[in-house]
Amino acid sequence: MRAEFLGIGMTSQRTRERLAARMAELGIRNRQVLNAIRSLPRHIFVDEALASRAYEETSLPIGNGQTLSQPFVVARMTEILLEVSPRRVLEVGTGSGYQTAVLASLVEKVYSIERIATLQALARGRLWDLKLNNVTLKHGDGYAGWPEHAPFHGILVAAAPPEVPQALLQQLADGGRLVLPVGVSGGQQQLYSITRRGDTFIQQALDKVTFVPMLGGTQSSGGFR
Ligand code: SAH
């Protein structure tokens, strides 16, 4: 049944190699990140109708009005996070689960929170299929972080809050790093890396990006758009 795992057509190993090569051209240096992109089947994270576009440098719709970020943004955020060698990472905005899969193949343990139950269920199935069992998912509001498992060496946020959520700063381990887009929805947002040194938070502004907004609360059932 799962012909895509056999490496056929648009979804072949060669297509993935090309995407990794493109990421390197765009400036991704971390070999582990490039290897993860090379080995993970991105097409299983989107609807079958979009599978042929899964290896393009583009963002793709994943349902419920949400999008899977373009590969470069995923690679860049991961690369910045890995600079502090995190072992345990919190992700906010599981979405399709692709970014989760990238992280899970690079660090010891990933905790990931998603506010839309439907998306979370789909992501769970995909991560299961890929046998990535170092991931724990939660349906909830990422603004609260995940205090039971804090502190985290790395926190990656895949949706843009209007300002940096305080709970996430508090759940950062000493020496840990938070990577997130900040800004109002609709407009351009700024990607930041915030590194904790004791009680000091060192903030660095990175690229301009476009993410879906980080919303409060949870959504339990379907919804078509
Ligand atoms: N990294 C994802 C990107 C998904 S888009 C991927 O690879 O597919 C961002 C996701 O953040 C959406 O699924 C959205 O529902 C989720 N999100 C938005 N606000 C949230 C919040 N407060 N808590 C948890 N998830 C949130």
Q: Cis peptide before 162, with omega less than 30 degrees from 0?
A: no
Tens-place pLDDT, residues 117-173 = 999 999 999 999 999 999 999 999 999 999 999 999 999 999 999 999 999 999 999
221: pLDDT confidence band, cut at 50, 70 and 90?
low
Write out the CATH class of domain 59-209.
alpha beta
**pLDDT at 4 (0 to 100):** 46
The neighbour count for residue 164, using CB atoms within 10 Å, is: 16
**Pair type for strands 189-197 and 200-209:** antiparallel
Q: Determine whether 12 is an active site residue.
A: no
Side-chain-facing half-sphere of 40: CA atoms under 13 Å = 30
Q: Single out the residue of 47, 34, 37, 219 nearest to residue 126, CA to CA.
A: 47
Distance 114 CA to ligand 1 centre (A): 6
Query: At residue 8, does pLDDT exceed 70?
Result: no
**Residues 150, 89 contacting (CB under 8 angstroms):** no
Sequence-separated (6 or more) residues with CB below 8 Å from residue 51: 4, 10, 11, 43, 44
Per annotation, catalytic residue among 39, 69, 85, 193: 69
Tens-place pLDDT, residues 28-75 = 999 999 999 999 999 999 999 999 899 999 999 999 999 999 999 999
6: pLDDT confidence band, cut at 50, 70 and 90?
very low
